[in-house]
Amino acid sequence: MEPFIAMKIAILGAGAIGQLLAHQLATAGSKPVLLVKANQVEVDTPFVIEQQDGRKLRHFESYCVTDAQLPEVELVIVTLKAYQVTAALMAWLPKLPKQCHILLLHNGIGTHLELASRLAHHGLSLGTTSQAALKITPHTIKQTGTGITQFGHYCGTPISDELQQLLLTAIPDSCQVEHILTALWHKLAINAVINPLTAIEDIPNGALAAEKYQYTISAILAELMQVAELEGIELDGQFIAGRVKQVIELTADNYSSMHQDVAFQRPTEIDYINGYLVKRAQAHGIQLFHNQQLWQQIQQLSQH
Ligand code: PAF
């Protein structure tokens, strides 16, 4: 554990997943910090995680970053909502060392295209996680699901071996993958089906197993496969359809993040899910009927 203490990982996004990673890194012996402004959290309140077996873990030391720690940051893990990423990262970057590595870990795709040219001095990795957590109070989270976390190199200087080893040690079921964009497209397929449909129909994920949704699910995935091919991403259509079905079953009782965003009148990640597919299709000169319709319907629901 000792060697990890010196490595400074900062987490941008103090939501449930950001805090979950902070607890996991702290448990592995590292001292992560949350990139939060002083007025956003109570600095002296301990962070608490309720694990799935009901045990509570309390990390008394505050995770909140101090100005003195900023020049030491070696890796920033960004766990914000996709639509917050670019603006928030641009605001913090001038205070961070030029060589610190960035790992984007959020639902949806597209922020890497917005950021790649601006991160010329920093290396950029992308990742995706199936771990799930709920924020109960600003300093208390409850882990609600386990699952794999994948990350891999996208551009610039690769992440150092030491940092990579720390992530693999700290995050359960984590692995480094060579084709990270393919992994992100697998998650995109799951989100492109489950998130908008559950939000529009006002149903839990499991309701999508009903026969009446199967045509729409196949049509969304057929369009996704078409765009993936144009983007040079190799996907196995049968595997993707099977994985979507499996996630619908495994998370049957859950309400998707987009369902919750719409219900609580928060912005959604639709621009980085079905919206991303439509925009990439347009870049290749084609229109997508089903994904375009879902994008519009969620935009309309959000306006109400
Ligand atoms: O966004 C979500 O809610 C989740 O990624 C998933 C896997 C669709 C489960 O609800």
Q: ipTM of this predicted complex?
A: 0.97
Distance CA 223, CA 215 (A): 13
Q: Whose CA is nearest to atom 9 of ligand 1?
A: 256
Identity at 177, one-letter amino acid code: V
Residue having the nearest C-alpha atom to atom 5 of ligand 1: 191
Q: What is the pLDDT of residues 182-198, one digit of tens each?
A: 999 999 999 999 999 99
98 Cα to the center of ligand 1, angstroms: 34
CA of 191 to the centre of ligand 1 (A): 6
Q: How far is CA 36 from the centre of its chain?
A: 18
d(C-alpha 284, C-alpha 281), whole Å: 5
Q: Which atom of ligand 1 is nearest to the CA of 260?
A: 3
For the segment 116-159, what is each residue's pLDDT rounded down to a tens digit? 888 878 999 999 999 999 999 989 999 988 999 999 999 999 99
As a whole number of angstroms, the distance between CA 194 and CA 274 comes to: 11
Pocket test for ligand 1, best of 17, 105, 107, 240 (most atoms within 8 A of CB): 107
Residue 271 C-beta-side C-alpha neighbours within 13 Å:
12
Cβ of 205 below 6 Å from ligand 1: yes
Q: Which CATH architecture has domain 182-303?
A: Orthogonal Bundle (1.10)
Position 121 scores a pLDDT of 82
Where does 2-178 sit in CATH, by number?
3.40.50.720
Atom of ligand 1 nearest to the CA of 259: 3
Equal CATH topology for 2-178 and 182-303 = no
Q: How far is 199 from 203, CA to CA, in rounded Å?
A: 7
1, pLDDT greater than 70:
no
> To test the ligand 1 pocket, which listed residue (129, 190, 198, 258) has its Cβ within 8 A of the most ligand atoms?
190
Lowest-confidence region among 1-5, 79-83, 91-95, 248-252? 1-5
Q: How confident is the model at residue 5 (pLDDT cuts 50, 70, 90)?
A: low
Q: At what angle do helices 214-230 and 274-283 cross, to 10 degrees?
A: 40
Which residue lies with its CA nearest to atom 6 of ligand 1? Answer: 256
Q: What is the mean pLDDT of the chain?
A: 93
39-48, 83-92, 116-125: which has the minimum mean pLDDT? Answer: 39-48
Residue 39, pLDDT score: 67
**Domain regions of the chain by residue span:** 2-178, 182-303
Active site residues: 187
The pTM (predicted TM-score) of the whole model is 0.93
C-alpha 3 chain-centroid distance: 28
Q: What is the pLDDT of residues 243-275, one digit of tens each?
A: 999 999 999 999 999 999 999 999 999 999 999
Q: Is the CB of 274 under 6 A from ligand 1?
A: no
Of 10-24, 42-56, 273-287, minimum mean pLDDT range = 42-56
